[in-house]
Amino acid sequence: MVAFAGALGTRRAEADRAPRAADRGVLRVTGSHNIETRLIDGKAFAAGLRARIGAEVAALGAAHPPFRPGLAVVLVGADPASEVYVRNKAAQTVEAGMASFEHKLPADTREEDLLALVASLNADPAVNGILVQLPLPPQIDAMKVLAAIDPEKDVDGFHVINAGRLAVGLDALVPCTPLGCVMLLKHHLGSLAGMKAVVVGRSNIVGKPVAQLLLKEDCTVTIAHSRTRDLPAECRQADILIAAVGRPEMIRGDWIKPGATVIDVGINRVPKADGKTRLVGDVAFAEAQGIAGLITPVPGGVGPMTIACLLANTLTAAKRQAGLA
């Protein structure tokens, strides 16, 4: 049983349990494990990170005029969620004092035309970071497009050069969502050394890079996936459980080791009785209460860190290109 002890402490239906901003903070919990589950407030952490990035951009701009990082975001098609993410990226880029270049292309764009745009952005000195919003329409080979981005401007960290550099422990531009997960973990847990981490999901965008980052932090890392035998038992071993499968509420409460830290990367829209949708993660959030020690909510957990880390990568890329890092 859970009672939110946030500022407004509103109670809502079980199905609508993911906390709103006003609810964030400590949860009072009574459950069989008698554990007080605490929320990791990614929205607040991301706001602080963006403010620090903005301050550094301003300081570097004053010390090294005309230093001003520039981020180009390319959207192909009109997927409604992608349109929101791209709009938020542009707004937060400008808020941090950087230049934003938006390129919106029709859904039937040919692969060669997108490659030509990427080539022109690679050559543009005002553009320090390039991001092609995923997913791309089926006629375009995403791997081919990602491989065409200059690795120095690859602020998504998806280029094989950056993936390889991360894998062998060299400085790399690191994918934003994994970077955000590990920032939140380090902030709340301090050193992660020796902890057992289980990553559920093996995508190139989240699962594999977050596993690499956790390994770098001296965790003992397991990557679990759809063919893993006895997935619940594997998850129960985890001090840190990262859920990145893209399946609504797949990770049940009794898969979580009591006191574990749970990072929910899932962003799933599920239909409600009234015809609208609600956003849920890959973890059955209500069931995790009283079992997990710390958990990221959806929304308001990992999601906001993705864009904040994109800005961090853009600043890093701009500093490197200007010889300031």
Residues annotated in the binding site for NADP(+), as ranges? 201-203, 267
Q: Which one of the spans 95-103, 160-168, 222-230, 303-311 is the region binding ligand LMY7XDAE (CB under 6 A)?
A: 303-311
CA 316/CA 205 separation, integer angstroms? 19
164 to 203: interface string for ligand LMY7XDAE, x by CB under 6 A: ------------xx--------------------------
Residue 1: count other Cβ atoms within 10 Å of its Cβ: 8
* Whether residue 89 lies in the annotated active site: yes
Q: Which one of the spans 52-60, 242-250, 298-306, 311-319 is the region binding ligand LMY7XDAE (CB under 6 A)?
A: 298-306
Give whichever of 263 and 307 is closer to ligand LMY7XDAE, judged by the CB atom: 307
Residue 294 makes contact with ligand LMY7XDAE by CB under 6 A: no
The closest of 139, 282, 267 to 199, measured between CA atoms, is 282
Least distance CB 176 / ligand LMY7XDAE (angstroms): 5
Least distance CB 16 / ligand LMY7XDAE (angstroms): 14
12 to 51: interface string for ligand LMY7XDAE, x by CB under 6 A: ----------------------------------------
Least distance CB 111 / ligand LMY7XDAE (angstroms): 16
Say which residue the tokens 């973990």 belong to.
Answer: 185
Residue list 222-281, contact with ligand LMY7XDAE (CB under 6 A)? 267, 279
Number of residues lying near ligand LMY7XDAE (CB under 6 A): 18
Give whichever of 150 and 156 is closer to ligand LMY7XDAE, judged by the CB atom: 156
- Active-site choice (23, 156, 239, 264): 156
Burial class (CB in 10 A: 0-12, 13-18, 19+), 79: middle
> What one-character DSSP code corresponds to residue 153?
G
CA 222/CA 89 separation, integer angstroms? 32
Give whichever of 163 and 267 is closer to ligand LMY7XDAE, judged by the CB atom: 267
In this structure, what token pair is assigned to residue 243? 């859920």
Residue list 123-152, contact with ligand LMY7XDAE (CB under 6 A)? 131-134
Cis-peptide, bond into residue 258, ω within 30° of zero: no
* Whether residue 156 lies in the annotated active site: yes
Least distance CB 236 / ligand LMY7XDAE (angstroms): 26
- CA angle 307/57/62 to nearest 5° reads 165
Residue 90: count other Cβ atoms within 10 Å of its Cβ: 16
Total H helices, total E strands in the chain: 10, 13
CA 163/CA 147 separation, integer angstroms? 11
Alpha helices in the chain (DSSP H): 42-63, 80-95, 111-123, 142-148, 160-167, 176-189, 207-216, 231-235, 285-288, 303-321
Applying CB under 6 A, which residues contact ligand LMY7XDAE? Answer: 81, 85, 131-134, 156, 176-177, 267, 279, 298-300, 303-304, 306-307
Active site (catalytic) residues: 89, 133, 156
